[in-house]
A and B are shown apart, each in its own frame.
Chain A
Amino acid sequence: MFETIFGPFALPFVQRGLTEVLFLSVGAGLLGTWIVLRGLAFYSHAVGMAAFPGLVLADGLGFAAPIGAFFTAVFFAGGLERLSRGKKSGHDSLTALVLVGMVALGVILASDVFFSGSNIDTLLFGSLLVIGRWDVVFAAATSAAALVATLVFGRVWLATGFDPESARSLGVRHGLPDIVLLLLISLSITSALSAAGAILVTTLFVVPAATTRLFVRRMLPWQLSSIALVAAEGVLGLWLSVQTNAPPGAAIAMLAGAIFILALLTRRSSLAGPPEPPSIQGDQNRKILAPFPKNY
């Protein structure tokens, strides 16, 4: 009994995956709350996908994958910032375009330059079971950075998250803090790529924070419970993947999705009170305020 449950964790490569996912959980849980609060889900998904050509280059030329991923992620973030400067709407279509451009570049590099073949699967889906020592160090470093930045900038991020307009009028300058947040998200997502892969990285960063958001309203409990949930889902998913021979990233993704749906259902039945007005800057509000049709 004991053996069948804890047996997998005696294997060294599983232990390394375990350390990795525990380190990642701090950064992913903390930043996840900011991603959900600030509506940055698409950005975080896009950063992960945009790192694809960097991973292909690293694989083809034989240098460390996180370096390639990090530079393409920064290139992506910088390019997006440059293109969307001065625009009030249409950020989402720009994000989508830059993202798909990067993926197309990655596909062409992979299929016509380096002939990466079956390595593509690993690049796209990652694996917690083939983690290197440097991946763990990188994850620990980004998590520490996320923790420090949350302590320093948390108040500003919170103010701009709830009400960008009045935050500006109250004199909260959010140029630098916002850039720090975007960079930090890029960095953390890069560090999670080798574990979760380009497409599934949102499982660690968005889904757990969205799940706990259903129950918790205050910032600190929300952050702590998100970290705990990422860690729990990561460990359980890793265990499931060893037991069933499924890829770990995908196992965690399914698990996180199932837990979210369960959470939504229990909350529906237990809290039957009137729904609160959306406190996150909703898409609806933004759309009404968006100054699209200027000259009609």
Chain B
Amino acid sequence: MIEIFGISLQAMLSQLLLGLVNGSFYAMLSLGLAVIFGLLNVINMAHGAFYMMGAFLAWMGLNYFGLNYWVMLITAPLLAGVFGMVIEKTLLRWLYQLDHLYGLLLTFGITLMLEGLFRSFYGTSGQPYSVPELLAGATNLGFMMLPNYRAWVVVASLVVCFATWFAIEKTKLGAYLRAGTENPKLVEAFGINVPLMVTLTYGFGVALAAFAGVLAAPVIQVSPLMGSDLIIVVFAVVVIGGMGSIMGSIIIGLALGVIEGLTRVFYPELSATVVFIIMVIVLTLRPAGLFGKEK
């Protein structure tokens, strides 16, 4: 058995993988936050609640309608996305002319309502969701056992993250989006339907959060509070990375997940706070964030 600093390689690798899994969630959520913030100028506090909603939709689909994981992996983000678009159309729309803070407060209210709603039906205890059959079990890599599902989470979220990056940075639609971030009035003058673009962007960001939620359902227990604990860490991730760069969000998200995983091996007492400590260090040395451009 190989050991590093008295810790078996096996334990370290499995924590590393767990860190990567968490990092994938951070990456997907902070990516969605950044995209939404770019165009809407709203920090979507409800992002964690939508993540929770995604997980619950998957659970409800299975338990009430017998829809399996793969169906819900597509359906839940779509449903959540539509829900997000309705919220944007009916609620958020009225706040664009006001201070950013009102957007934050409104989405905070939405968070409380969604959490309270799910809590009134399911209580605070977690609901188990089993790993889909196709991905059950583990693969022996020789030096460690690789749980198939965790590997899938990392791969799936990486694919989604890079697809998003590609769509925004390399396609025509993405170009409109980036232009809309810079100067929405001018883009509108060129005949592009900016309000529609805003709605779709919000819907997409919400769908991304719900997708992460479905992926998370078999890894952690589905509970109404799973979102709010995560979203605060994601906020720290966003502060560390700055919201200026899509790729930055992805990399920082993954990196912090890994660092958190390693901390759990070497000094478990700090694992809950390490991301915040890094945030403090970054704020001291580079206030605008690692990838940020502050005006």
Q: Do A and B come from one complex?
A: no
